Chains A and B, each alone.
Chain A
């Protein structure tokens, strides 16, 4: 029946165009198998539709089958691979050939390759017999399987990561159940967050009808699952033992028939079928950077218990998330408080219930914070992000900025002040120095000396003074360099002064007195000049001291003439000439600068 089902329909969803050529292949998991060993034959095609004709397996026994579809990204284009697989068991050794399977796509028929397989006899007799035994037991179990089985019921098989789904394991039975033990193997929920939400005791449900037959139903186990990763996830099987009463159709012996014992207690191993779930990853578009993984529908409330406090007192900030979704998985959001706040780890309070529909209620986080210093602080806006699987998009709830006013507490300094060194502690004990009250310069800005007109005038005056001194000294020097002229005039003056008496006598025409005065004046002059007494002075001495030839000769002429004329007046040199000559001698002597 099932085989037929697989063979007939290979019609899958989607009618994507066959852009490339159709590649229809058969593959076998083994080349050589033992008798009784299962092996897998897979037919795969890179198209998404068609009419599949299974091959004839001949003497090989069909055991199980399945169908899958996968998409592959080849050179940038997405190719869909559809495959059908068969689990086959060979009952007898030998070489088998599996004929090609056929596939009809758009009116064209494709053939797969044929597969050769060698089946050898099992060399382990014991294993073989055991297998046979198992097969036998299975067979008996199979008979019972239709009367008692576990059916997992899942809300939906297609969900987002983080979304919640409930799974209920129901036991269907028609046979009288003698004993029902606790499930000894719970399914493993790899990749899921799970929470057992089974109500106490076994819940009996009303009779259900399957394929026209009535079944009693018991809820064995209920679990809430939330996938934590994307992909194809499998919920494993739940296993348990039960003892059922089977009516054996044919009594094994007469005794039983007589006793009316047509019933037998039989232990049945019940194994539920695994369930495959497709988990979609959360969309990456619009995913907030600080998304923490909350999935569901929520509201958030954020507030401090007070906004106006003194330093070193505590504030409680409370974040309350209300709604339904994966509440148990929501961690405490990270709040960033001003660095001056001493923040403690948040305290979590759960007030939600988890049931078939997921978790509902609220979860609150309270953050204890102690501001250590005064000031006005803005609490940075914090946003709570979650994914709404119904709206299929991310949602953000943010709160308005909160301002905390911290006033100076009484002990602020004591708490925060840490003495730096010994010196500072000593300083603390003393008081500040008193006001300055004397000699206060209360000049306004313009009254400052530097930059004032007075300052610049003084500088200018100084520079002017230097210039003036420079010029003054230059003039002074100029006059100093003209020494001959100055000395001449000076010496002339001196000579004329010395000769003043002689001039008087010349003017009075007193010749004798004139000549006397000439020599007296000259001797007096030289005596003064060389600081020698008149008694020590002679004509030779003067010549010696003057040490100048022209002066010496002229002096000799004048002195001789004056001496001669005193006693015998002559007229070789006139009196006026003599006077001039004497004056000249004194002048010249002065000019020598002895």
Chain B
């Protein structure tokens, strides 16, 4: 019985390893295609990898580059944004995004966020959800170390250090865990979207007959405020709001 389980584990491991090796091969093929300016092929491979449910900031970054080279700016922007969303520390993606954004048409003055919200975002985006999770485990074990000091030492000062250290670290652990969860849910929810179609009318209500408020062009990032059947209510950093057909956007 025990041997059987062990074997199945080993089998699964080998299978996973096999898949990983295959993915890596595909990935290298895409790099080769990209280097030989075969961007269409590169896009195809990267997209097939993403379709395998691989969540990778680098993959989106590379896909964004392939789109950028094809001069498909909105899709490049979309993938750079995704890369940054998965890993806020992907500075290369941030750089390329800035470059791609300079090629879009719409210029929107943004209202700066409240400073508290900005701080929160800075902390929140310090690590990806993966790294926050790793940090959580690390902090937990440090907390245990301090707890042990508290439990077993006889000297009062050591006991005190152990107690305060353990409780502080425990709360820090809870906080990092919360941040990991926040990052993960942020990853799953589509809060922002990129306009994919060249020219898009923004309507005053979710129907084609409603009056047109303004026009946006491809590559513009909008916030999704609301959603109905086939329509999104979007808002711009300058405060403008309106409804747009959801097919004209792609969520980040």
User: Interface on A for B, CB 8 Å cutoff?
Assistant: 338-340, 373-375, 377, 406, 408, 413, 416-418, 420, 424, 427-428, 430, 432-437, 440-451, 455, 458-459, 462, 465-466, 469-470, 472-473, 476
Say whether A420 contacts B54, CB under 8 Å: no
Say whether A374 contacts B199, CB under 8 Å: yes
**Given contacts A466-B144, A469-B144, is CB(A339)–CB(B215) below 8 Å?**
yes
Residues of B within 8 A of A424 (CB): 102
Chain B residue at minimal CB-CB distance from A443: B54
Interface window among B117-125, B127-135, B223-231, B239-247: B127-135
Say whether A442 contacts B49, CB under 8 Å: yes
User: Interface on B for A, CB 8 Å cutoff?
Assistant: 16, 19-20, 23-24, 27-28, 31, 34, 49, 52-56, 58-59, 61-62, 65, 68-69, 92, 95-96, 98-100, 102-103, 105, 107, 129-130, 132-134, 136-137, 140-141, 143-144, 147-148, 151-152, 177, 180, 184, 197-201, 212, 214-215, 217
Please give me the 5 A-B residue pairs with the lowest Cβ-Cβ distance, nearest first: A450-B133, A375-B199, A473-B151, A445-B53, A436-B58
Residues of A within 8 A of B20 (CB): 442-443
Residues of A within 8 A of B56 (CB): 440-443
Q: Which of B54, B148, B184 contacts A442 (CB 8 A)?
A: B54
Say whether A436 contacts B144, CB under 8 Å: no
A407 to chain B, nearest CB (A): 9
**Given contacts A455-B133, A466-B144, is CB(A444)–CB(B151) below 8 Å?**
no
**Given contacts A435-B61, A450-B129, A458-B137, is CB(A442)–CB(B198) below 8 Å?**
no
5 A-B pairs (CB sep. < 8 Å) = A432-B99, A436-B62, A443-B20, A448-B130, A466-B144
Say whether B62 contacts A435, CB under 8 Å: yes
Say whether A458 contacts B140, CB under 8 Å: yes
B174 to chain A, nearest CB (A): 11
Say whether B212 contacts A449, CB under 8 Å: no
Complex CA distance for A446 and B12, rounded to whole angstroms: 13
Complex CA distance for A469 and B166, rounded to whole angstroms: 13
Q: Which of B52, B65, B143 contacts A432 (CB 8 A)?
A: B65
Interface SS of chain B: helix, strand, loop or mixed? helix
Q: Which of A430, A434, A445 contacts B65 (CB 8 A)?
A: A434
Say whether B151 contacts A339, CB under 8 Å: no
Complex CA distance for A338 and B56, rounded to whole angstroms: 40
Complex CA distance for A374 and B96, rounded to whole angstroms: 24
Chain B residue at minimal CB-CB distance from A418: B107
Say whether B102 contacts A444, CB under 8 Å: no
Say whether B198 contacts A374, CB under 8 Å: yes
Residue of B130, B143, B152, B177 ringed by the most chain A CB atoms within 10 A: B130
B179 to chain A, nearest CB (A): 10
B52 to chain A, nearest CB (A): 6
Say whether A420 contacts B62, CB under 8 Å: no
Say whether B99 contacts A444, CB under 8 Å: no
B34 to chain A, nearest CB (A): 6
Q: Which of B19, B137, B151 contacts A462 (CB 8 A)?
A: B137
Say whether B198 contacts A373, CB under 8 Å: yes
B30 to chain A, nearest CB (A): 8
Complex CA distance for A471 and B136, rounded to whole angstroms: 24
Residues of B within 8 A of A451 (CB): 133, 184
Q: Which of A374, A428, A473 contacts B102 (CB 8 A)?
A: A428
Residues of B within 8 A of A446 (CB): 53
Say whether A375 contacts B62, CB under 8 Å: no
Complex CA distance for A436 and B180, rounded to whole angstroms: 24
Complex CA distance for A407 and B198, rounded to whole angstroms: 10
Residues of B within 8 A of A466 (CB): 143-144, 147
Q: Which of A339, A340, A435, A449 contacts B31 (CB 8 A)?
A: A435
Q: Which of B19, B134, B151, B197 contacts A375 (CB 8 A)?
A: B197
Chain B residue at minimal CB-CB distance from A440: B58
Say whether B52 contacts A444, CB under 8 Å: yes
Say whether B92 contacts A436, CB under 8 Å: yes
Residues of B within 8 A of A465 (CB): 144
Say whether A449 contacts B133, CB under 8 Å: yes
**Given contacts A340-B199, A373-B105, A375-B198, is CB(A427)–CB(B98) below 8 Å?**
yes
Say whether A432 contacts B105, CB under 8 Å: no
List 10 additional contacts besides A427-B102, A442-B54; criterion CB under 8 Å.
A377-B199, A432-B68, A432-B100, A435-B31, A435-B65, A436-B58, A440-B58, A444-B53, A448-B55, A462-B141
